[in-house]
Amino acid sequence: MPKIKTCRAMAKRFRATKTNKIVRRKAGKSHLLEKKARSRKRSLKQRTTVDTRDIKNFVNKVPYIF
């Protein structure tokens, strides 16, 4: 059985935690930052977990992350 290819773009954007949760960055922190509030930009800095409903699609793209 051959190895499954990993989607390299997704492998660079996501990480797995010790408890097998997938961590991602929040969207909206790249441009147009002048009009966003300081507190909003601070909250966009933090990382968040991927929703459990999306993990099935994720495992097909990055099979060896766990």
Q: Where are the domains of the chain?
A: 8-59
Mean pLDDT of each 10-residue bin along the chain, 66 residues long: 92 93 95 96 96 88 88
CATH architecture classification, 8-59? Irregular (4.10)
CA distance 66 to 53: 17
Own/partner contacts of 32-40, CB < 8 Å, gap of 24 or more, are none
**Residue 11: what pLDDT?**
94
**Residue 41: what pLDDT?**
97
CA distance 16 to 59: 11
**Residue 1: what pLDDT?**
83
**Residue 57: what pLDDT?**
86
